[in-house]
Amino acid sequence: MWLFLGIVFSLGVLIPGKHSLKLQYDRDQVLHIVPETFQQVQHLQHLCSSLLLDLWKPLLPEDIWAGEDLHIRVPAPLVQEVKDSLDQHMISYKVLISDVQELVDQSMRRERTSHTQVLEGYVYTQYHPMEEIYQWMTQIQKSNSELVTQHYLGKTIENRTMYYLQISQPSDKTKKIIWMDCGIHAREWISPAFCQWFVKEILQNYKSDPKISRFLKNLDLYILPVLNIDGYIYSWEKDRLWRKNRSPHMNGTCYGTDLNRNFNSSWGSIGVSYNCSSEIFCGSGPESEPETRAMAQFIERKKSDILCYLTIHSYGQYILTPYGSTTKPPSNSEELMRVAKKASAALMGKYGTRYEVGSTSLILYSNSGSSRDWAHMIGIPFSYTFELRDKGSHGFVLPPDQIQPTCEETMLAVTTIIDYIDQKYFPGGAVMLTSGSLGLSLCLSVVLTWTVS
């Protein structure tokens, strides 16, 4: 009976919408549990697997550990039975979210932006559907044509166009690149909101902020506001908690690949599922998805110029370094950690928000096929995942009133990383020292010393 109910309710309740059926999460609850014993862990793993409960943290039942946080969404019809089962096994729990649908409604409560409004003033403190983000990209390029260009990246599985923005000050020298992508997971709406905020802040402040002004002389910024466009649209129109892209599998009986398990970095080896109905289905092979492939091929072509890869996610408040598939640290692990801690401190300085810093496999869970690991493996020296607010009070459904403080503090962290890279590779704001230029300067130094003496 429980298994049947789990299958029926784990995805939410379908109700007729204006244009189509829309999943509702009325009175679904998110529970916070910290199991204390191995027996409790076993019971929770069985409960989550048999009822197909929606794990928010961690993502797999086998990653449930004693002493570690567990966040699970429980469908309304199962709430009491699940709580009774926890009580029977002496497992303490706390209700993080008492009604998921209330939060969903809150995140979508907004005035629809007309084309005129986009031109007059974009509202960065609310979430925007993809149609408006497309309009915003077009407008931001038109309004800042001396600095911003919009470029084609590829097509999604549903044939939508992927664009990235390039922020570049005109220069006669070859510049290096900082890459940032948002929205690889559809339900993490705060992520695209940050990419948009980041672009706004750079464009508003590059003339007055000496740090931004300095790094733009040496670095171009490439921003992909939404990587998983089909999934993002689906999260607005059908299922707010959708995570994956929308590729069909098993003759259309299940949909979606987790794009952050689909990159060619130890693909399919750990922390994934081969079941296409799973939230962490890794696809049929590395880069099997057009979205992954488009981004990977582009970055591969540019990798010799890319100094830093940033990918923005939620939730949990982490700055994560490579790797997820192994606990063996990368060769520049010490520097990666030092810079991340510096960024975390800058972030905390704004509102006191604490971010944990470390490699994914050591402080979160093991996974393979992530974009962050892949970027570092192909030779991009600095590669980080940001997991933005919060710690679980709202989870994936962060209210709009959290957008501004989240983006303000994250901006400080990201610009700290970029500033460090700028100063490392362009000391004193000068042209980057190559091995050739360094050799020439040493020769001149020797000649001058000999002449003077």
- What residues are annotated to the active site? 387
Taking alpha carbons only, the member of 316, 308, 279, 288 closest to residue 414 is 308
Strands (E), 316-372: 318-321, 356-359
Asked if 200 and 124 touch (Cβ cutoff 8 Å), the reply is yes
Going by C-alpha positions, the residue among 75, 60, 56 that lies closest to residue 4 is 75
- Exposed, middle or buried, 288 (CB in 10 Å: 0-12/13-18/19+)? middle
* Amino acid identity for residue 410 in this structure: T
Question: What span, in angstroms and rounded, lies between the C-alpha atoms of 164 and 293?
Answer: 15
- Distance, in Å, from the CA atom of 5 to the CA atom of 51, rounded to the nearest integer, reads 7
Q: Quote the DSSP letter at residue 58.
A: S
Q: What is the DSSP letter of 135?
A: H
Pairing of strands 219-224, 161-167: antiparallel
φ/ψ of 328, rounded to 5, equals -70, 125
| Separation CA 170–CA 162 (nearest Å) | 25
382-388 and 356-359 strand pairing: unpaired
> DSSP 3-state assignment of 94?
strand
Which residues have C-beta within 8 Å of that of residue 451, sequence separation ≥ 6?
none
CA-CA distance, 384 to 347, in Å (whole number)?
A: 15
Torsion of CA 168, 383, 395, 277, to 10 degrees: 110
